[in-house]
Amino acid sequence: MTEPLGWGLIGTGGIAETFAADLSFTDSGRVAAVGSRHLDSANRFADRFDIPNRHASYEALVADPDVDVVYVATPHPMHHPNTLLALQAGKPALVEKAFTMTATEAEDLVATARAEGLFLMEAMWTRFLPHIAEIRRLLAEGALGDIVTVIADHGQWFEKDPEFRLFAPELGGGALLDLGVYPVSFASMVLGKPDRIVTLIDPAFTGVDGQTSMLFGYANGAQAVLNCTLFAQSPTRGAIVGTEARIEIDGEFYAPTSFTLISRTGARTSFDAAHEGTGLWHEADEVARCLREGLLESPLMPLDESVSIMETMDAVLAQSSGDSVGHD
C-alpha cells in the first residue's frame, strides 16, 4: 500500500481548517506540518488537528523533510510568492483558487513548475466532485447536443467590515477572485476560453468589485451568463443548456450537490450522490493520484486552463468603470 502523502499547510485560515478536516475522509494523505507567520497560530492549528510539526515561518514549512506536498491556503496576493517558495524548495504544490492575482503571476508559477519538473495544480475543488464527474461524462457522450448557454451564479452576503478579506483591497478582496472564479471556471470547463467579454461591475464601499455580471461569447455561437456578488445570498445554481437537453445543478453548484438532466421533450433524470465531508478531499486524492502516476499536472484542472481563467478574469476586471457608484 502506498504511504499517504505528508501535506504541509501554508496558512491557518478557514479554508486550511476545512482542508485539514476533510483529509480525515481519505487515506491518500495526512497533514504532516503547518506553517504560519506566528508560532502561536501554528500551534493552535496543529493542536486542533493533531499535526506533529508546526513552524513559525513558511520557509521552515517548505524545508520540512516530512512535507511531501504543499497546500497554499493564504490570501490571494500571497499565492504567487508562497507557491514560488514551495517550488523553489523542490516541493509540489496545490494552490487555492483563484490561482493568483493576475495571469502574469499564473504564467510565472506554471513556468517555474515546468522548469523544475514539479507538480502544480489550482485547488478548484469543484472539478473533482462526483456530480461534476458525471456531468463531464454526459458532455463527452454528447447527451446535451450542441451547447448553447452556460448559466451560473455565486453570491454571498457579508457584513460590511473593511478589515474582512473580501472587502480589503490589500488582501485581494472583491467578488470576482473569491466567488466569481467558480462560475468563470465552470464556463471554462464546458466552453473553453471566450473570445468576447461584456461586464457590468459595481464596487463595494472599499473600492473592490462588489457585484460583477459577465456575458461571455464563444466562436461557436455559445454564450455564458455569469454573476457574482458580495451583497446577497444568491441561488448559487448552475445550468448547461444544449440543443437536445439541459443540465440543471442544484444550489451550491460548486459543492457536492445533485443535478437533473432534462431532455428537450421534458424527460427528467436525476443524479444525487452520497458524499462525506465538505468535498475538498477529492482534490487531495487527485493530487495523490497524479504524484503516484508521475504526472506534473492534472488533466481535470490543467495548468494552461488555470492561466486562461486568470486571463479571462483580468479582462473582466479591466472593464470595470471608474465612475461606478459604490455600495455604502
- Give, in order, the Cα–Cα distances in Å from 237 to each of 154, 160, 316: 8, 25, 21
Pair 138, 247: CB distance under 8 Å? yes
E strands, the chain, in order = 5-10, 29-35, 53-55, 69-72, 93-96, 120-123, 147-155, 196-203, 209-217, 223-229, 238-242, 245-249, 258-263, 268-272
Please tell me which residue in 91, 97, 160, 193 is annotated as part of the active site. 97
Q: Which strands make up the sheet holding 258-263, listed edge to edge?
A: 196-203, 209-217, 223-229, 147-155, 238-242, 245-249, 258-263, 268-272
Query: What is residue 211's three-state secondary structure?
Result: strand
Buried b (16+ CB within 10 A) or exposed e, 113-145: beebebbbbbbbbbbbbbbbeebeebbeeebbe
Residue 9: strand pairing partners: 34, 71
CB 173 within 8 A of CB 326: no
Residue 275 is placed in which grid cell? Answer: 458524499
97 classed as catalytic: yes
The CA distance from 34 to 51, in Å, is 7
DSSP annotation of 89 reads T
Catalytic residues, which ones? 97
